[in-house]
Chain A
Amino acid sequence: MTPLSRHIWEGAKKSVLKITGMSFKYGKVEVLHGISINAEKGKITSLIGANGAGKTTTMKAIMGLMPISGGTIEWDGTTLSGKDPSDVAKCGVALCPEGRQLFPNMSVYENLLMGAYTRKDKEEIKETIESVYQWFPRLVDRRNQMAGTLSGGEQEMLAISRALMSKPSLMLMDEPSWGLAPILVEEVGEIIKSINAQGTTVLLVEQNAQMALDLADYVYVLETGKIVLEGAGAEVSANEEIQQAYLGV
């Protein structure tokens, strides 16, 4: 695919998440070849691409779960690359990982408490739990149930809620629509919008390109470890190649 309009997004200067020339190796095989991503504060930035393009690897690398082999990652002026995931979390970054990972043998309530691990004030944590319950009323009935016994949709809601519990300033969402019924996908989309509306910067990784394009202010297209296209959501959606490859138009 030929890069189309590689224009410089006017927001790039005030970009808050700044990934420059990041590369990553699995053993000797390089799977990310110096990618650069900028995510502006308070916006939704999407990263789309096929299976194996390196989307999840990118997310894990930002979180510090996988040490990168080159480049830098900066969030709000702090260098994240090289930090332990627990320290990245303390910088206000939260990851909602692929495949809705939870602590299966802990209750819904305990999962939420764990989400607030970086926070100390018990009263405030309780308040956040209450507001999360208002967002996801279904979790209230399930609060003493083991997380592993929830349905797929409920688990995704819990995974998102848990990530919200740390009151993150940057939310990394990896395939939140994975394995969900279409109606739930729509619901998750609404939730992402509301999270963003509250001022959280969102970096969204999706195979569901339609959803990612609809939500995003700015989109990056990742193909076999390289950024092949970037642009405003509407612009990328209008691209014929994108329509053929990802939207099935």
Chain B
Amino acid sequence: MITGNNAKKHFVNVILIVILVVFIFLPKIVTVSYYLHLIVMSLIWFILISGLNVIQGYTGYVSMCQIAFYGIGAYTSGLLMKNLHWGLGQGILAAVGMGLIVGTIIGFPSLRTKGHYFSIVTLAFTMLMFTILRGWSGLTGGIVGFAVRPVSESLFGIPLNTRQGYYYLVLIFAVLTILFVKRMTGSRTGRAIIAVRENENLASSIGVNVFAMKLLAFDISAVLGCIAGALYMHYVNFVSPAGFAAEYAMNTLLAGMVGGVGTLVGPAIGSFIVIFLPEMLRAAALYRQLAFGIVLIIIVFALPHGVVRPLTKLWTWALAKIFRKNNVEEATLASNK
């Protein structure tokens, strides 16, 4: 049947394709290399925050150790490259495996706690991780960290040791991430994960194994965090513990809150804001951090559900406006999904 629903779907798909095309040609549009660098970092953070979003936004457990997973991913692939001369692909795969292992080890005890206790336990893990990265100098290079050689692989003929080439690699991972999260949240398992957030007791009494779902969500967040870390490692080719300290756990939380968790697009918006905003505030010189803080506080106060909330409203309103004629028809004809 040709209803407003179908036309609407086509329209949305066209817009998504346009956005993707814009991203594909972005390196040609953004000529200032530094901005391309910020975009790459934002995309890496998008993958990181998407992971956080799974446990915080969809499962309702505020995790403070996403930044630790970021670090674990970076160190895993970095050390394997430095010591065993592993390539980029193997490094990322190893980061995935490491994410699963560490996620399960940390998730098992910490997910038995709830609310603030879970946040504190995960924060403690972040601090522990930082101490290990800094203290185990023999392996990690201690406080100074270590450097690795640039990756030698190339993508579609573009060498990945160029900013442009790496941009495309990160873009592919970002698109895969958003597709994965979308697929997951629409699935039976995804609904069960969201049900845990909505009402844990009710979820268990309809047959959801609540603990297994929480652990799964935590593992997914760990894996995405580790992938982001590995991508970061081979982008900057250098790693030190400083970037994974507890204070950056706050930045991941902020990116989630400012963008809006529990949505697909929220983490993307949040990541771009958290990466770009400090650069926009360069004019404030000494007071940059202060200005950054104030702007974020204003955003959080004005939009407690994140920047994504008004945008979604605008989007639905615009769609309704465009397809108003078909709406009545749709309501009467359309059956369930």
Interface residues of A (CB under 8 A from B): 63-65, 84-86, 88-90, 94-95, 97, 101-106, 109-110, 113-115, 117-118, 126, 129, 143, 162, 166
Q: Which residues of B contact A84 (CB under 8 A)?
A: 204, 209
**How far apart are A107's CB and chain B's nearest CB, in angstroms?**
10
Contact B337 A109 (CB under 8 A): yes
Contact B206 A117 (CB under 8 A): yes
Contact A85 B205 (CB under 8 A): yes
Q: Which residues of A contact B199 (CB under 8 A)?
A: 101-104
Contact A117 B205 (CB under 8 A): no
A211 vs B147: C-alpha distance when bound (angstroms): 75
Contact B191 A106 (CB under 8 A): yes
Q: Which residues of A contact B337 (CB under 8 A)?
A: 109
A88 vs B210: C-alpha distance when bound (angstroms): 13
**How far apart are A135's CB and chain B's nearest CB, in angstroms?**
16
With both beta carbons as reference points, the residue of chain A lying nearest to B202 in the complex is identified as: A101
**How far apart are A138's CB and chain B's nearest CB, in angstroms?**
15
With both beta carbons as reference points, the residue of chain A lying nearest to B211 in the complex is identified as: A84
A143 vs B201: C-alpha distance when bound (angstroms): 23
A235 vs B103: C-alpha distance when bound (angstroms): 59
Does B152 have its Cβ within 8 Å of any Cβ on chain A? no
Which residues from 7 to 40 on chain B have a C-beta closer than 8 Å to any C-beta of chain A?
none
Across the A-B interface, the 9 shortest Cβ-Cβ residue pairs: A89-B207, A103-B198, A118-B207, A85-B204, A117-B207, A85-B205, A95-B205, A86-B209, A101-B202
Which of the residues A63, A104, A110, A118 comes within 8 Å of B191, measured between beta carbons?
A110
- A-B contacts, 28 of them at CB < 8 A, read A65-B201, A84-B204, A85-B201, A85-B205, A86-B209, A89-B204, A94-B205, A94-B206, A95-B205, A97-B202, A101-B199, A101-B202, A102-B199, A103-B202, A104-B198, A104-B199, A109-B336, A113-B191, A114-B203, A114-B206, A117-B206, A117-B208, A118-B206, A118-B207, A126-B336, A129-B336, A162-B206, A166-B207
Tally of chain B residues near chain A (CB < 8 A): 19
Contact B195 A65 (CB under 8 A): no
Q: Which residues of A contact B202 (CB under 8 A)?
A: 97, 101-103
Which residues from 186 to 220 on chain B have a C-beta closer than 8 Å to any C-beta of chain A?
188, 191-192, 194-195, 198-199, 201-210
**How far apart are B161's CB and chain A's nearest CB, in angstroms?**
45
A29 vs B253: C-alpha distance when bound (angstroms): 41
Q: Which residues of B contact A110 (CB under 8 A)?
A: 191
Which residues from 132 to 190 on chain B have a C-beta closer than 8 Å to any C-beta of chain A?
188
Which of the residues B195, B204, B206, B210 comes within 8 Å of A106, measured between beta carbons?
B195
A143-B336 in contact given A94-B206, A117-B188, A166-B207 (Cβ < 8 Å):
yes
Q: Mark B307-329, 1 if CB is under 8 A from A, else 0.
A: 00000000000000000000000
Q: Mark B122-135, 1 if CB is under 8 A from A, else 0.
A: 00000000000000
Q: Which residues of B contact A166 (CB under 8 A)?
A: 206-207
**How far apart are A134's CB and chain B's nearest CB, in angstroms?**
14
Q: Which of B192, B194, B206, B208 has the most CB of A within 10 A?
A: B206
Contact A65 B192 (CB under 8 A): no
Q: Which residues of B contact A115 (CB under 8 A)?
A: 206
A88 vs B209: C-alpha distance when bound (angstroms): 11
A114-B191 in contact given A103-B199, A129-B336 (Cβ < 8 Å):
yes
With both beta carbons as reference points, the residue of chain A lying nearest to B198 in the complex is identified as: A103
Q: Which residues of B contact A114 (CB under 8 A)?
A: 191-192, 195, 203, 206, 208
